[in-house]
Amino acid sequence: MKFTFVENSWDDYWTKLPLTIQNRKGPALFNFHNSKEDLLLPFMAPYTLDTKALAKDYLGVPSHLKGGKLYYTDYGFMTAAMFYNKKLWKEAGLTDKDFPKTWDQFRAVAKKLTKTDAKGNITQAGYNFNGKYDAMIMGLNYQRGGLLYKADKKSINFDTPTTIASTKFLVDLYNLDKVGSKDFGTDANASFGQEQTAIVYNWGWFKNYLPDNFPKLEWGVFNLPSPYSDKAPFAYDRYNGESTFGVNKLAPADQQAVAQDVVKFFVTNEDVIRKWSMMFGCFPAKNSLRADPIVIGDPLTKELSKIIDRTIWPGVIPGPIETDLKATLQEVLYNGMTVEAAVTKTQKQLERDLKNIDFTSVEDQYTYFKDLPKYAK
Amino acid sequence: MSYTARPRPGRLRVNRGERTLRNTVVVSVLAFYAVFLVYPIIQAFIGSFHLWNPLKGQFHFIGWENYADALTEDLFWTSMTNNLVFTVSVVATRVGLALVIALAISRVKHLKSLFRTVYFLPVISSLIAVAFVWRLIYEPNVGLVNKTLALVGITGKNWLLDPDTALFAVVVMTVWKDLGYAVVLLLAGILNLSPEVFEAAAIDGASRGQVLRRITLPLLNPTVVFVVVTSLISYLQTFAQIFVMTNGGPGTKTYLTTYQIFNEAFVKYNFGSSSALSFLLFLVIMVLTWVQLRFSDAESRA
């Protein structure tokens, strides 16, 4: 057997792959991301492995079944955490006991980490979320029981009191608490790397971005705070599964057979799953690795292990959702729109952009979905 | 008796080899344009009447729905308005500045070539690279603009995210990049004007201002029209600098039609909608070009 590997950049890959597959020149086995399910699922062959047995070994398998068949599943769960600068943390007189558990505690910590010059201009942001609204808002909503989709599991549910409250919370962090500024750089990640920002929200991939781009930076991780001091949030944030491979149903039968074997090898090999999960900043979906010493020994996955069961997968997030959400907070912070108007505008744009995309919410498959009435208003 | 064929009077004698070469070149060029220009345009036009996602083989006829959606969408009118504001600002600034600079260079006795080269250097630089550099120049914390302003005690703005400055910050970058091309064209136009006309004007005692208003500018009109029309066509299709510098933000303040076209196709995979937007933009460009040419024709006749 000969394996030929072809590399492409991220954007090129998702254009070239479906076109080559359609023209029967595509690979038998390919890297897959669930945000591209709408494009690629029509060309994928179901796995031939025992899905019931797989469901016992892996979290999240039932949510990926389509008509009883499995075309991909998650090898790892990526979600969000707060990354902080250890040096700035220490300079502010903070210790390991000061990691905030609630957003009120977070605001106090962020204020301590903020520095300004004589004119009141921020020189060090305690917390910087410039460019991150689209990533943060869904998580903040979930914490308060705000689902992304309506009861029909198809319609977007953005223009809600929860979204307005979550957005106002973010605006207040800048305008009232003054822990950062909309004008303090345009890229929170670069600002964090340059040690101008003490805390930044990011997903797990950030743990590899930092040593690649800012190798001297000393950073740590703590979990997202909760809005509540007396109960857990409905979900700390959403997670997205990093997916197993796709098998090309238009490839020759012998190549498909080999691809299916590779999939089986991949999902049954603990070393590979551990390595891949750690490499991409994910918490392994394989149950046998949840208490693995290497996983628990990593600063990111150690934190995530405490809350991973309390993160929700809404289903595939169609591309336009993230794109349309980016503009919302900009409309408020830079263009002077009210939060209500900006959220309503985004809802209309989302409805337009999603009308021809096929997706179904799986929020109701979340383990703690039954607790929703305690949170949703 | 032998008969020798002679070419008809006034007709070039072309041998067989040259004829073959000529035909090969013409056919090749036609084939190239047919495949890479005409066919894609026809395909896009047909696609604009379809719900079209080639990445998943979707191609359903929906009539005028894409056009109706575009024309009833606020974002389309926002992007078109931004497009017109951007284009008019760039064209007016570029042509006005280029004219002043070209006139100045035309009066320089030495080192004309040096000035031409200096102004043309940004033109030959990569647009993407220049856009990235200017994005850094505008960066509110570490960018050159704000650092320079800070030296004289002025607090700079968040140029690319301030709704009042974002679009014009991109205008400034675009003018800086493309000014040299207009300078070179206008300078060539000025240097090609007949010296006898100016000598006659000097003899008649015309002042410099009168020479400029009554002779130089009217004679330069065809060149100016050419620069304006080509600029209009080009800047109504601006994309790269928006993609690199602002991504259409803050909000949709720098959303141009071309950026919307890109988003529809490569973010939302809605190629039918993207094609419809392309043809709407094409119509706008066509109308504006026609208006401009009629206007300049009327001026010339006057």
The CATH number of the domain holding residue A296 is 3.40.190.10
Distance from CA of A242 to the nearest CA of B (A): 20
**Residues A93, A143 within the same domain:** yes
Give the total number of structural domains in chain A. Answer: 2
Domain boundary among the residues B37, B63, B89 is at: B63
Residue B135 lies in a domain: yes
pLDDT at A195: 96
The range of the structural domain enclosing residue B134 comes to 66-301
Do residue B293 and residue B150 come from a single domain? yes
Given a contact cutoff of 8 angstroms between Cβ atoms, the answer to whether B176 and B127 are in contact is no
Domain boundary among B5, B30, B63: B63
Query: Which SS3 state, helix, strand or coil, does residue A69 take?
Result: strand
Q: Kindly state whether residues B79 and B25 are assigned to the same domain.
A: no
Residue A307 placed within a domain: no
* Within-domain flag for B106: yes
Distance CA B183, CA B116 (A): 8
What separation in angstroms does the CA of A56 have from each of A61, A62, A65, A239, A258? 9, 10, 14, 20, 24
Same domain, B216 and B187: yes
Q: Between β-strands A246-247 and A122-127, what pairing exists: parallel, antiparallel or unpaired?
A: unpaired
Task: Give CA separation, B121 vs A140, A346, B191, in Å.
Answer: 49, 42, 21
Q: Do residue B182 and residue B122 come from a single domain?
A: yes
Whether A255 and A286 share a structural domain: yes
SS3 B155: coil
Residues of B with CB under 8 A from a CB of A: 51, 53-57, 69, 73, 75, 139-142, 155, 157-158, 160-163, 247-253, 263, 266-270
Residues B166 and B31 in one domain: no
In a domain, A368, yes or no: no
Angstrom CA distances, B38 to B49, B50, B62, B274, B276, stand at: 18, 19, 23, 18, 17
Q: Give residue-wise pLDDT tens across range B162-191.
A: 999 999 999 999 999 999 999 999 999 998
CATH number for the domain spanning B230: value is: 1.10.3720.10
CA atoms in the 13 A half-sphere facing the CB of A24: 3
**Shared-domain flag, residues B25 and B140:** no
Angstroms from A55 CA to nearest CA on chain B: 29
The position carrying tokens 């191609």 is B59
The DSSP secondary structure of A143-200, one letter per residue, reads HTT--SB-TTSSSB--SSHHHHHHHHHHHHHHHTS-SS-TTS-S-HHHHHHTTSEEEE
Q: Do B51 and A326 touch (CB under 8 A)?
A: no
Cα–Cα distance between B181 and B87 in angstroms, integer? 16
Other C-beta atoms lying within 10 Å of the C-beta of residue A267:
21
Q: Is A323 on the interface with B (CB under 8 A)?
A: yes
- Compute CA distances A289 → A55, A97, A305, B263, whole Å: 15, 28, 11, 40
Rounded to whole angstroms, how far apart are CA atoms A15 and B266?
8
Locate B291 and state its tokens: 């208006």
pLDDT value of residue B17: 86
Please judge whether A182 and B158 are an interchain contact, meaning their C-beta atoms are less than 8 angstroms apart.
yes
pLDDT surpassing 70 at residue B4: no
The verdict on A88 and A228 lying in the same domain is: yes
With contact defined as beta carbons under 8 Å apart, do A124 and A114 qualify?
yes
Question: How far is B254 from B79, CA to CA, in rounded Å?
Answer: 8
Report CB contact under 8 Å: A11, B247.
Answer: no
Angstrom distance (rounded) from CA A257 to CA A254 = 5
The token pair that represents B81 in the structure block = 């308005």
The reply to whether A340 and A230 lie within a common domain is yes
How does pLDDT run along chain A (377 residues), one tens digit per residue? 889 998 999 888 988 999 999 999 999 999 999 988 888 999 999 999 999 999 999 988 988 999 999 999 999 999 999 999 999 999 999 999 999 999 999 999 999 999 999 888 899 999 999 999 999 999 999 999 999 999 999 999 999 999 999 999 999 999 999 999 999 988 899 999 999 999 999 999 999 999 999 999 999 999 999 999 999 999 999 999 999 999 999 999 999 999 999 999 999 999 999 999 999 999 999 999 999 999 999 999 999 999 999 999 999 888 889 889 999 999 999 999 999 999 999 999 999 999 888 788 999 989 999 999 999 65
Same domain, yes or no, for A103 and A161?
Answer: yes
Give domain status of residue B4, yes or no.
Answer: no
| Shared domain check, A247 and A226 | no
Q: What letters, b where the CB count within 10 A reaches 16 and e where it falls short, cover B25-64? A: eeeeeeeeeeeeeeeeeeebeebbbbbbbbbbebeeebee
What is this model's ipTM? 0.83
Say how far residue B25 (Cα) sits from the centre of its chain: 29
Cis peptide before A215 (omega within 30 of 0): no
A104 shares a domain with A186: yes
| pTM of the entire predicted model | 0.86
Q: Quick one: A114 and A135 in the same domain?
A: yes
Q: Do B139 and A186 touch (CB under 8 A)?
A: yes
B7 occurs within a structural domain: no
Same domain, A233 and A254: no
In chain B, what residues touch A38 (CB-CB under 8 Å)? 56
Residue B48 has pLDDT above 60, yes or no: yes
In a domain, A4, yes or no: no
pLDDT digits (tens, 9 = 90+) for A56-109: 999 889 889 999 999 999 999 999 999 999 999 999 999 999 999 999 999 999
Closest alpha carbon to A233 in A334, A328, A318, A162: A162
Q: How many domains does chain B have?
A: 2
Q: Is residue A65 part of a domain?
A: yes
Closest CA to A307 of A80, A146, A47: A80
Residue B10 lies in a domain: no
Q: Do B268 and A353 touch (CB under 8 A)?
A: yes
How many CB atoms within 10 Å of residue A20? Answer: 16
A204: in domain: yes
Average pLDDT over residues B18-26: 93
Same domain flag for B119 and B51: no
CB-neighbour burial class of residue B240 (10 A; exposed 0-12, middle 13-18, buried 19+)? middle
Residue A295 located in a structural domain = yes
Three-state DSSP class for B32? helix
Q: Confirm whether B11 is domain-assigned.
A: no
Position A371 in a domain:
no
Q: Does a structural domain hold residue A19?
A: yes
| C-beta separation of A200 from A188 below 8 A | yes
Q: Is B154 found in the same domain as B24?
A: no
Q: Which residues contact A177 (CB under 8 A, 6 or more apart)?
A: A107, A110, A111
Q: Report the distance separating Cα A173 and Cα A165, nearest Å.
A: 12
Closest residue of chain A to B143, computed from CA coordinates: A185
Same domain? B70 vs B59: no
Mind giving me the DSSP string for A6-65?
A: ----HHHHHHHHHHHHHTT-S-SEE---GGGHHHHGGGBPPP-S-HHHHHHHBTTSGGGE
Q: By the 8 A CB rule, do A220 and A89 touch? A: yes
Euclidean distance between CA atoms A130 and A188, whole angstroms: 5
A309 within 8 A of A358, measured Cβ to Cβ = no
- Has residue B6 been placed in a domain? no
pLDDT of the residue at B208: 84
Query: If you ran DSSP here, which 8-state letter would residue B213 be given?
Result: I
| Interface touch A335/B73, C-beta < 8 Å | no
A35 close contact with B: CB closer than 8 A: no
CB B174 within 8 A of CB B256: no
List, for residues B76-115, the tens digit of each pLDDT value: 999 999 999 999 999 999 999 999 999 999 888 888 888 8
A15-61 pLDDT, tens per residue?
899 999 999 999 999 999 998 888 899 999 999 999 999 999 998 89
- Name the residue range of residue A207's domain: 80-237+319-356
A99 and A230 in a single domain? The answer is yes
Q: B127 with B49, same domain?
A: no
Looking at the fold, whether A51 and A85 belong to one and the same domain comes out as no
Q: What is the bridge-based pairing of β-strands A122-127 and A197-203?
A: parallel
Q: What are phi and psi for residue A70, nearest 5 degrees?
A: -115, 125
Instruction: Inform me whether the pLDDT recorded for B299 exceeds 70.
Output: no
Instruction: Looking at the structure, tell me whether residues A108 and A36 fall in a common domain.
Output: no
Strand partners, A82: A201, A222
Q: Which residues of B touch A42 (CB under 8 A)?
A: 56-57
pLDDT at B14: 67
β-bridge partners, A243:
A74
* Subunit contact A334:B251, Cβ cutoff 8 A: yes
